[in-house]
Amino acid sequence: MSRKFLSSLLRTSTTHSTTSQCHAQTILQSLLPNVILETDLLLAYSKLGLMGHARKLFDKMSQRNMHSWNIMIASYAHNSMFFDALTVFQGFKRCGSLPDRYTLPPLFKISVGIGEPYFGWMCHGLVIKLGYVEIVVVTNSVLEFYVKCGTMSQALSVFSHHNGSWDSVTWNLMISGFGKAGLYSDAIRCFREMLKHQSGTELDYMILPSILSACGKEGDLLKVKEVHGFIVRNFSFGVDVPIGNALIDNYGKCGCLKDSENVFKTMSCVNLVTLTTMISCFGMHGKGEESVFLFEKMIHEGFKPNAVTLTAILASCSHSGLVDQGKKIFNSMISDYGFEPTAEHYACMVDLFGRCGCLEEALQLLKRMKSSSVTGSMWGALLASCVMHKNVEIGEVAAYHLFQLEPNNTSNYVALCGIYQSRGMAHGFSTVRAKMRDLGLIKTPGCSWINTAGRAHKFYQGDLSHPLSDMICKILYEISNTQISTDDLGVGYLLHDL
């Protein structure tokens, strides 16, 4: 077998056996050392995730080119082995070479992976200095870095500096970035902007989950329906799994459980995320029995629940008062699946016991735990249950722990006050209020607002300062006595440009 033939065989190899047979041939025929062949082997092993094999080869190479360094750095980053990737990159720098367009994107992944933004900022500097800003893949990786750091202002600045050289990945990063940052209306505005820029060209279906999630979290059912209609009209393959999952989730968030179920039923292929989403939708709508039924069905079908699934089913049991089922599921996850419950799961269990009034049982659960592993969210769940059931004794215990753990969290003081107030204990009430004053804590009042004709109108609790408040209250009173279907909500077209 010639060098050329082995090379092309390796470049298309997808199995361990082909790769190692080629490797054996290179040795048998004394074709090594040879940079091209060794680099081909490197890539073949990396693609199979066999980083140990790749590394052994790489260390023995007497000569390396940019390609070989890039493969090592990118593959380590791809397999979340960030420190190994960094070590290789440092070795690369010691050779006096400069990164190229293939080296740079994985470096941003490394920076996020090791939680070290300085490294990413430095790499952004390199991108500019070495003149790679015009390469859209490189600039997109910079954009993604800022999105993952949660600094949308920086992402926006990168975005606007490269006016014109965007592609659909750029838009998707911006839309999903705004969504992840909770800036849903910005995400929707960005989507509209995108439609303007690329009218006529086909819409990339990868952005649909991002835009659906922005519409759903904004609670805008009409826009969710609009995007759904658009999907049905334009994508003949029907829904792929992530799009189906996003539809289920966002119909659920907008209060249309029936539509979630319909999407779920028509999906030809589902995964763990689909099932978890559907379980949590049932839970959100107080359908605990349906959640448990689906959970048991998925286990029967051989799905292995993950930490998110467990949180969803426990929360669902809790909201529907299914204490025994919740307890059973929690215990079986530990014994049957060797599941290591996280702090969130314990918080769910406390909520499960607490919500139904089993406050003593909830407290015992926390007392049995090592005190250093009891988190604020667990005591917080207990305190919330004590407010619900007006329990002073356990409420004080939970509040005491919370005051230690999060001394500046105003809502804990307010919750304890609420318990005293509901039991008519004026002394306790004023003591906590005084403590809050001493600590300089101010309760931020609940507030809601509405945008009409480009103006925002704010309303605080019990606030009648708005000039039209008389009329507003009268209309609100009428509305609250009228049955309204979600179809009657106002019209706000999203896709009218299409």
Partner DNA sequence: CTAGGGTTAG
- Interface residues with DNA (CB under 7 A)? 43, 66-67, 70-71, 74, 78, 101-102, 104-106, 109, 135-138, 140-141, 144, 167-170, 172-173, 176, 179-180, 204-210, 213, 240-243, 245-246, 249, 271-274, 276-277, 280, 283-284, 306-309, 311-312, 315-316, 318-319, 344, 348, 351, 377, 381, 384
**50 vs 214: CA distance, rounded Å:** 38
Nearest distance, CB of residue 241 and DNA, angstroms: 4
Look-up of token digits 């406050």: 359
Assess whether the previous peptide bond of 33 is cis (omega < 30° from 0).
yes
Of the two residues 298 and 432, which places its CB atom closer to DNA in the complex?
298
How far apart (Å, rounded) are the C-alpha atoms in residues 224 and 246? 10
CB of 380 to DNA, least distance (A): 7
DSSP letter string, 62-106: SS--HHHHHHHHHHHHHTT-HHHHHHHHHHHHHTT----TTTHHH
| 228 phi/psi in degrees, rounded to 5 | -60, -45
Smallest distance from the beta carbon of 23 to DNA, in angstroms? 18
User: Which amino acid, 70?
Assistant: N
Distance CA 103, CA 110 (A): 11
* Least distance (Å) between residue 209 CB and DNA: 4
The residue (of 248 and 494) whose beta carbon lies closer to DNA is 248
Comparing CB distances to DNA, the nearer of 346 and 429 is 346
Q: Looking at beta carbons only, is 91 or 472 nearer to DNA?
A: 91
Do 401 and 415 meet the contact criterion of CB atoms below 8 Å apart? no
* Identity of the residue, 301 or 487, whose beta carbon is nearer to DNA in the bound complex: 301
Torsion of CA 258, 260, 262, 267, to 10 degrees: -170
Smallest distance from DNA to CB 278, Å: 10
Are 250 and 224 in contact, with CB atoms under 8 Å apart?
A: yes
The tokens for 478 are 């009428």
Q: β-strands 455-460, 447-452: how paired?
A: antiparallel
Compute how many other C-beta atoms are within 10 angstroms of the C-beta atom of residue 482.
8
CA distance 180 to 428: 41
**Nearer to DNA among residue 272 and residue 441 (C-beta):** 272
Q: Minimal distance in Å, beta carbon 491 to DNA?
A: 25
What's the closest the beta carbon of residue 436 comes to DNA, in angstroms? 20
Q: By C-beta, is 337 or 477 nearer to DNA?
A: 337
Question: Residue 268 or 482: which CB sits closer to DNA?
Answer: 268
How far does CA 37 lie from the centroid of its chain? 41
Name the residue nearer to DNA (CB basis): 334 or 475.
Answer: 334
- Cα separations (Å) of 335 from 47, 341, 490? 36, 11, 51
Enumerate the β-bridge partners of residue 448.
Answer: 459
In whole angstroms, the minimum distance from the beta carbon of 391 to DNA comes to 16
